[in-house]
Amino acid sequence: LETKHRFHLFLFPCLFQQVSAMGDRGTDNHSEVTDFILVGFRVRPELHILLFLIFLLVYAMILLGNVGMMTIIMTDPRLNTPMYFFLGNLSFIDLFYSSVIAPKAMINFWSESKSISFAGCVTQLFLFALFIVAEGFLLAAMAYDRFIAICNPLLYSAQMSTRLCTQLVAGSYICGCISSVLQTSMVFTLSFCGSRSIDHFYCDTRPLERISCSDFFIYRMISFFLSSIIILPTIIVIIISYLYIVSTVLKIRSSEGRKKAFSTCSSHLGVVSVLYGAVFFMYLTPDRFPELSKVASLCYTLVTPMLNPLIYSLRNKDVKEALRKILGKKIFLFNSILTVT
């Protein structure tokens, strides 16, 4: 007898309850799913140690890079500008959504059961969706900031006020939270028939859809509508901003001026390309290639948060000078202690 398990999620703000529905044939038996199995990467067991070490190294670099970037921005008064305010929040988001994924994935490399509780799966999907959507809106805000800086430099200080920057960042988190509540609620309202094995290394929408037996028509229509009103506006803002930026930069007669203008945008454009490229590849890959989806997921869950601090620090003169200043103080303090000793 096939039994459907239907879950209803109520988040206000993050509280939920699980309700099991009756089976298709009118049975009174209720069965609750208390956990899922994260299949992870389908590799030989002896390679799990190697994957654990790779994840550990990448996650350590994420922690070091993003915490270091936030520290530099908060301690150096010269970086008290809108661009670095957005960059500090980008590091915060990268740090937290990678922390939602990496620790559990590393634990599963050593665990035989590879299970994640129902509550843990809900929480993981909710937090990841919140931060990844917030990052999309934040990248759009950063593109608008670069547009004002290059196309209207004389009005930059007036237009990009502290109040506006705070509102843009707060709006990014609010939009991420709203999107996450809707997305998580929809996913865990689906019916799951029998299988608890999620063919992925974290709880995500597509792998959860694969183990559901619900009718996806209404669900996918709602998902498409949400994607259109959440993801599409950020992409449009980024594209239009850079079209104006390129048009303005090409009008600059000095080659040195054009180079300087492009250098201020290349880092941000690189981050946007890596993130959206990986996301599109992930969701456009057919379901029959789940391993490719996992590789694409690695790009925006771990690789992008690791590369973002490197991209901005290596290509940014102000950040490099601030880092040298901090390291110089540390070295001076260390030498002073040695001299006293």
Q: Where are the domains of the chain?
A: 33-317
pLDDT of residue 54: 93
Nearest to 322 by CA among 108, 70, 59, 57: 70
H or E, element range at 79: none
In this structure, whether the domain defined by 33-317 belongs to CATH 3.40.50.300 is answered with no
Span 200-246, pLDDT tens digits = 889 988 888 888 877 777 777 877 787 777 778 898 999 999 889 88
pTM here is: 0.82
Query: Is 90 within 8 Å of 290 (Cβ atoms)?
Result: no
pLDDT of residue 3: 38
pLDDT of residue 16: 38
The residues, any chain, with a CB within 8 Å of residue 65's CB and separated by 6 or more, are: 91, 306, 308, 309, 310, 313
Question: CA 279, 282, 287 angle in degrees (round to 5)?
Answer: 155
pLDDT of residue 285: 66
Q: What residues pair up with 6 in beta bridges, in sequence order?
A: 191
**Alpha helix (H) residue ranges in the chain:** 48-75, 82-110, 118-151, 156-159, 162-187, 205-210, 216-250, 255-284, 290-298, 304-314, 317-340
Nearest to 271 by CA among 146, 151, 102: 146
Arithmetic mean of pLDDT, 43-56:
88
Span 253-282, pLDDT tens digits = 777 767 776 776 777 787 888 888 877 777
Alpha-carbon gap, residue 278 to 306, rounded angstroms: 14
Arithmetic mean of pLDDT, 12-37:
44
Tell me: pLDDT of 321 over 60: yes
Higher pLDDT, 191 or 243: 243
Higher pLDDT, 10 or 101: 101
Question: What are φ and ψ of residue 16, in 5° steps?
Answer: -145, 160
